[in-house]
Amino acid sequence: MGQAKMLPGLCPDKVKANDYQWKLRAGNGKWWRVFWHPSNNEEVSLPVTGPDAIFLETERMYFRRFRVEDAEVLFELDNEPAVMRFISQGQPTPLSQIQNEIIPRCFDQYQQTPPRGFWAAHLRDDDEFIGWFHLRPDRISPGEMELGYRLKRSVWGRGLATEGARALLKRALGEWGYAKVCARTRAGHLASRRVMEKAGLTFEAEFFYGENVLPGWTEAERRAVKYSTRSGPASRIFEVPGENRAATIGS
């Protein structure tokens, strides 16, 4: 975490009132709010608890809940054409949609149990925001949980998607007690399919997204695949409310 002066009794509001700057930093299995003053750069670290705490850790990453101020980093992520190639043919997500729809939806999901939702992903080495992972009820078969992720192009090819997916799968099918987890991607998205396979998912079916879901896309471009896995017999089973059925999204 770096060497920072520990003052557990210091009030964060008092620190900020005295023109301190601050950032979040992961370390020692916790998440810390690190304050420093521009005049001397002396650091003051306070442990973070509650909704801002680290949600899940892997070997190289940690996940946390999204906050209102994360709209800008999400906008930057969705402005990378390569990142959005198989999602929106490279078109970015409007900032207003992120602020007014996506982040509020995340907050709603955080109130539900067992855990589900979208979580910001950071590198443990330098706290860099690199994207997100999600676990949510599947849009086609809402009785299943859907696993997904979106990472900055600068961290592709390092196995981080697989690492994060495995960590969520372990929790989902283990202590959280979900019965089945699936993932979907465009049929031609070979890199995403490899991640699913390495994470432990197996091919289940091929399907087509509806034209209202991907307007202007050809039928070949809307062709997609589903991978899935189930919990073991020893797991506590939690069925997500909703009919477990197969259909085309948007049909």
CATH number of the domain where residue 196 is located: 3.40.630.30
Find the mean pLDDT for residues 17-41. 66
Q: What is the CA radius of gyration of the chain?
A: 20
Q: Quote the CA–CA distance of 151 and 130 in Å, as a whole number.
A: 6
Find the mean pLDDT for residues 50-59. 77
Which of 54-58, 59-63, 156-160 shows the lowest per-residue confidence on average (mean pLDDT)? 54-58
> Is residue 1's pLDDT more than 50?
no
Is 60 in the same domain as 163?
yes
In a domain, residue 240? The reply is no
Is 59 in the same domain as 44?
no
How many beta carbons lie within 10 A of that of residue 107, not counting itself? Answer: 14
> Is residue 131's pLDDT more than 80?
yes
Is 83 in the same domain as 175?
yes
Domain count of the fold of the chain: 2
Find the mean pLDDT for residues 74-102. 95
Is 159 in the same domain as 47?
no
Is 40 in the same domain as 60?
no
In a domain, residue 1? The reply is yes
Is 130 in the same domain as 33?
no
Strand spans (E) along 28-60:
30-36, 43-47, 56-57
In a domain, residue 236? The reply is no
In a domain, residue 238? The reply is no
Closest CA to 67 of 29, 30, 33: 33
Which whole-number Å values give the CA distances from 75 to 84, 154, 232, in the listed order? 12, 16, 38
| Structural domain boundaries, residue 158 | 55-230
- Residue 125 or 166, more confident: 166
Q: What is the pTM of this model?
A: 0.76
Is 44 in the same domain as 76?
no
Q: Quote the CA–CA distance of 239 and 145 in Å, as a whole number.
A: 9
pLDDT band with cut points at 50, 70 and 90 for residue 233: low
In a domain, residue 111? The reply is yes
Is 41 in the same domain as 139?
no
Average pLDDT across the chain, whole number: 83
Is 5 in the same domain as 74?
no
In a domain, residue 235? The reply is no
In a domain, residue 242? The reply is no
Is 107 in the same domain as 145?
yes
Is 130 in the same domain as 28?
no
In a domain, residue 250? The reply is no
Is 90 in the same domain as 11?
no
